[in-house]
Structure 1
Amino acid sequence: MKIIKEFNNGGRLFYDKGNFDKWCIFYECEPREVKKFAPTDKFYFKHLLDSSKKYITVYDDLMDIFHKTTNEFDEKILHDIEFICQKYGEDALQIEITFIVVYCGMIAEEKKANTKLGKRIKMLGIHQLLKENFGIDEAADFSRGKGWRILDEECKKYGF
């Protein structure tokens, strides 16, 4: 288990072994007896959609994170996310948690062996959700069963 960040609400995000690799992101909150859970695309897509209805900068902030993300975890990006999220007022903590989940998900995609799409697959779903008015389920499930070349063309169409 590698702790990513501990929050002032007692929650923490961490990488641990999942079904496919050791880069599964989990969230755990106080009390620690509560079972950890891995936020799914559908779980955080709902939060992103709700947040984007209240704050117009959600997509642009995620694009900024996308452009900075590599296959290596970078503490500076965590600090950047924390700083970015200060403008979200009473929703800052929840949006910060969600943005860090997205960031770590992008890293995990970049680390996948023989990846052709990497972090772009996460950004594609986010773009479809926030810019193309896809539903949560539709955006989260869009890539299932599609070849990487088709998804690569979709990503290129949107500039990533």
Structure 2
Amino acid sequence: MAAKKTKKAVKKKAVKKAAPVRKVVKKPKLLAGGNPQIAKGDGDAPVQEYIAAIPASWKQDVARKLDAMITKAVPKVNKAVKWNSPFYGMDGKGWFISFHCFTKYVKVTFFKGGLLKPLPPGEAKHAAVRYLDIYEDYKLGKELESWIKQASKIPGWIP
């Protein structure tokens, strides 16, 4: 005779699977001109986060090209995000270049640009500082690359 199943069969508890943990990725707040608000940080990661947070447009392309141009021209460059802008510098020499997004252009700051040949076109309140405003139709070229290389060899700005 076959064994009868009893009503006292063991009830299995339903095992609830834990819901997968989702990372909540907040979009960075955009400041005036579409400049992303990124936490201060040292290294390439915060700079890449800054660039990725720029609204997809020609300004993001310019930022990517600037970062690549600086990294290629100065292989041992140090990177950081400070005051919602990427900064590039050399060990023991301070920061030599930075950029920032504005509504109609990307402003490149050469902290000791007054020593570059030829001078970058934008004047500042401080004689040592020079600017380059990059508009949508500006082509990044050899002159900018030359300024980057020159600037990296000059003691820069130390906050």
TM-score, normalised by the number of residues in structure 2? 0.26
- The structure that is helix-richer by fraction is 1
